[in-house]
Chains A and B, each alone.
Chain A
């Protein structure tokens, strides 16, 4: 169904972090941007679709001052808003927002760090664009920071802090950006496996809480009102987001899932885990029974590699890319 393509070499290896691959497709310029986090650096590659041109860039985590030790980056992700695309980088010290090509940093938000270290780690993690102009970022205390983004310029403001989680945020996802109307358009997940479902707006509303089983939900996606969540048990669960009804449960992987992605136009689902396997599934919503069906389509094994990032490169799921811990390449697969 898929075959392996030529890999893209990156400057450093990928770190063992959840959702460690960012992809942004720039159709007007026939380019795709990729981001892979390595310790305190984000490796960016801009790849032309004809496979002939690759350019690299590295972004460092911002240090508040020279005297402190370097700050590790937890995640880098693209936020595609109706008016503009941005790149968000979250670390132990704060949140950096760049123009999507990584050329300029437009915003910096420092996290509150206690003066004396406590045994709770402090960091930001979980990034998603939502609605017309919002970027949501989670943190280790379970809060979600909502930033209001103007259509251009750097006048980004922190407009809200959502409290719905008690454990560290692991991932945030959205759907229905721009003009579409949804009951709920944002979902957030935490280290206890709890999911919160929200509706964005001037005031964000929390629609639902889907409790977890004390095992981290490491990656979450929202598609046609269905929450798709991957867990440390290697399971994928599909819930109806606003009601919390469980549609399906898959014993998908033998180790912790690190990344999920959905190709919205085709309903293809990608799951990747520490067990070295990437799996492609198909989700179909049956309107008559209002149920969701999961069908398994394809497996790829990245030998001896704990996968940490996997994303479709386009909205149909025609191609996908994968990163692995200690691997200095982005592996690509295309439909045959």
Chain B
């Protein structure tokens, strides 16, 4: 439906990804497991943040996203987000990435669902951008990229009418339909019910520009009000609060899109055991348009040239070692989806094939080999070899 979803999707999902990574990397820093092997220093964490933010807010990537296009499949989205995550010094194994994706998606779904007015999707996006700016504030080059992107978003989206925003919101809701992964943090603060659905309140302030329900006004043929009556609204609403700021800096007022993880205990980012498997109605072949998009997005991402002396650090974000093994065993070693696509589909566009093969090749190079010397990754790598 809406052709303008991608920039907002990536900024918001990317923002959630950064919130989670920030919290998990700090947790790894303090957890007892790693205390002897070497911890993630403040510096390492900043490097990861700068790497990811730099890749996501790169001019080329953002320009590609801003082109009008459809929102494709979760598979494509996850592939590009994995690539973004790997633009830093950090490496995530497929299981961690799957869990991370679920968390990101459920957080964003919650924000879209509860968004007071469709236009407030922008304020949610700006909340993410504001926090991202904080994460990279010590690196002016990256801050500039963030600011530039923010300006472009303001330019493109500020003048959209509410109807367009609602179409955008509906497109996103359809995309995230049927996802009910339970997140322990959300359950704890009661924004999510045990059945996985989000709580929708019938009390509190109404969105800006909306009147509190309860009034019926009747007019005569000349437009004069002749009667007022009230009816029970079935809720306890109050008048709206002030409107948030849509400029580069300012008070956004609404809290959706802010970092929910900052004050909570690290364990709270667990997802329910039943991992989400969305039944995709699309045929197994990725449509040619979708493949073209994927190729363009991957190609436009700033490829981080890794210095020879240093290699990526693999981290296990969420589950215990044993669960990792069980998970990997149960699902089979998760192949990168990209391989699957190339094998199945009879490609007619040779250029796309070559491009994808090249990109897929990049992925292959990033798999751990036996030679990594980093102490941080050793114990985990040993575990990888067993899988």
Which residues from A are CB-within-8-Å of B202? 254, 275-277, 301
Is B311 an interface residue when CB atoms closer than 8 A count as contact?
A: no
Q: Is B68's CB within 8 Å of the partner chain A? A: yes
Among all A-B residue pairs, the 7 with the closest Cβ atoms: A191-B163, A296-B231, A119-B68, A299-B234, A16-B173, A69-B287, A251-B211
Contact among A92, A214, A254, A326 for B178, CB-based, below 8 A: A326
The segment out of A127-135, A176-184, A285-293, A314-322 that lies at the interface is: A285-293
Interface size class of A (residues with CB under 8 A): 35 or more
**Cβ–Cβ < 8 Å partners of A161 in chain B:** none
Q: Is the CB of A206 closer than 8 A to any CB of chain B? A: no
The answer to whether the Cβ of A25 comes within 8 Å of any Cβ in the partner chain is: no
Q: Are A69 and B200 in contact, CB atoms less than 8 angstroms apart?
A: no
Cβ contact within 8 Å between A70 and B282: yes
Known contacts A192-B163, A304-B198; A39/B281 CB under 8 A:
yes
Q: Please tell me if A233 contacts chain B, counting CB pairs below 8 Å.
A: yes
Q: Which one of B163, B214, B226 contacts A232 once the chains associate, using CB atoms below 8 Å? A: B163
Q: Are B216 and A250 in contact (CB under 8 A)?
A: yes
User: Which chain B positions have C-beta within 8 A of A121?
Assistant: 1-3, 167
B248 within 8 A of A: no
Q: Which of A45-53, A221-229, A241-249 contacts B (4 or more CB under 8 A)?
A: A241-249
Query: Do B218 and A247 have beta carbons less than 8 Å apart?
Result: yes
Task: Closest A residue to B227 by CB, please name it.
Answer: A293
Cβ-defined contact, B3 with A119, below 8 A:
yes
Contact partner of B289 (CB less than 8 A), chosen from A69, A92, A118, A249, is A69
A17 at the interface (CB under 8 A from B): yes
Bound CA–CA A306/B115 (angstroms): 12
Contact with A along B219-251 (1 / 0, CB 8 A): 111010010000111110100000000000000
Chain B neighbourhood of A275, CB < 8 A? 200, 202, 213, 235
CA distance A245 to B226 in the complex (A): 14
B213 cross-chain contacts in A, Cβ below 8 A:
234, 251-254, 275
Q: Is A254 a contact of B174 with CB atoms below 8 Å?
A: no
Q: Separation in Å of the B233 CB from the closest CB of chain A? A: 8
Min Cβ gap A196→B in Å is 16
Counting CB contacts under 8 A, is A294 at the interface?
yes
B163 contacts A248, CB within 8 Å? Answer: no
Q: How far is the CB of A197 from chain B (nearest CB, A)?
A: 17
Interface string of B141-165 (1 = CB under 8 A from A): 0000000000000000000011110
Q: B68 and A291: CB pair below 8 A?
A: no
B207: Cβ under 8 A from any A Cβ: yes
Check A39 against B177 for contact (C-beta < 8 Å): yes
Q: Mark B283-317, 1 if CB is under 8 A from A, else 0.
A: 10101111000000000000000000000000000
Instruction: Write the B1-16 contact mask toward A (1 if CB under 8 angstroms, else 0).
Output: 1111000000000000
Q: Given A39-B177, A304-B200, A326-B178, does the pair A119, B161 have CB atoms closer than 8 Å?
A: no
A30 at the interface (CB under 8 A from B): no
- Given A68-B287, A167-B163, the answer on whether A234 and B210 have CB atoms closer than 8 Å is yes
On chain B, the number of residues with a Cβ less than 8 Å from chain A's Cβ atoms is 63
Contacts of B164 in A (CB 8 A): 191
Q: Which of B210, B226, B232 contacts A254 (CB 8 A)?
A: B210
Are A248 and B216 touching (Cβ within 8 A)? yes
* A277–B72 CB distance below 8 A: no
Q: Does B93 contact A (CB under 8 A)?
A: no
**Interface pair B221/A290, CB less than 8 Å apart:** yes
Residue B47, interface by CB 8 Å: no
| 9 residue pairs from A and B, CB less than 8 Å apart | A13-B177, A17-B174, A68-B288, A192-B161, A255-B116, A275-B235, A277-B233, A291-B218, A291-B219
The answer to the question of A27 belonging to the interface, with a C-beta cut-off of 8 Å to chain B, is no
Q: Does B26 contact A (CB under 8 A)?
A: no
Q: How far is the CA of A305 from the CA of B226 in the complex (A)?
A: 36
Q: Let me know if A111 is at the binding interface, CB within 8 A.
A: no
- The residues in B between 169 and 220 inclusive whose CB is less than 8 angstroms from any CB of A are 169-171, 173-174, 177-178, 180, 193, 197-200, 202, 206-207, 209-220
Q: Is A188 an interface residue (CB 8 A)?
A: no
Partner of A66, one of B3, B166, B223, B283: B283
Q: Does B70 contact A (CB under 8 A)?
A: yes
Contact of A168 with B by CB under 8 A: yes
CB neighbours (8 Å) of A119 from chain B are: 3-4, 68
A306 touches B2 (CB 8 A): no
Is there contact, CB below 8 Å, between A246 and B219? yes
Smallest beta-carbon distance A311→chain B, Å: 19
Q: Does B40 contact A (CB under 8 A)?
A: no
B69 interface contact, C-beta 8 A: yes
Say yes or no: is A89 at the interface (Cβ < 8 Å to chain B): no
B113 interfacial contact with A, CB 8 Å: yes
How many angstroms between the C-alpha atoms of A295 and B229 in the bound complex?
A: 9
Per-residue 0/1 for A164-177: is the Cβ within 8 Å of any B Cβ (1 yes, 0 no)? 00011010000000
Contact A40 to B281, CB < 8 A, known contacts A117-B69, A234-B211: yes
| A247 to B223 alpha-carbon distance, docked (Å) | 8
Are B223 and A245 interface neighbours, CB within 8 A?
yes
Take A70-B281, A293-B218, A304-B193 as given contacts and tell me if A254 and B3 are in contact as well, using a CB distance cutoff of 8 Å.
Answer: no
Which chain A residues in 66-83 approach chain B with CB under 8 Å?
Answer: 66-70, 72, 74
Residue of A nearest to B178 (CB): A13
Q: A69-B287, A277-B235, A306-B113 are in contact. Are A41 and B223 (CB under 8 A)?
A: no
CA of A296 to CA of B213, assembled, Å: 12
A325 within 8 A of B: yes
Contact in complex: B221, A120 (CB < 8 Å): no
A15: CB under 8 A from chain B?
yes
Of the residues B200, B211, B218, contact of A305 by C-beta under 8 Å: B200
| Contacting residues, chain B, for A41 (C-beta < 8 A) | 281
CA of A16 to CA of B161, assembled, Å:
19
Shortest CB-to-CB span from B326 to chain A, Å, is 30
The minimal Cβ–Cβ distance linking A13 to chain B, given in whole angstroms, is 6
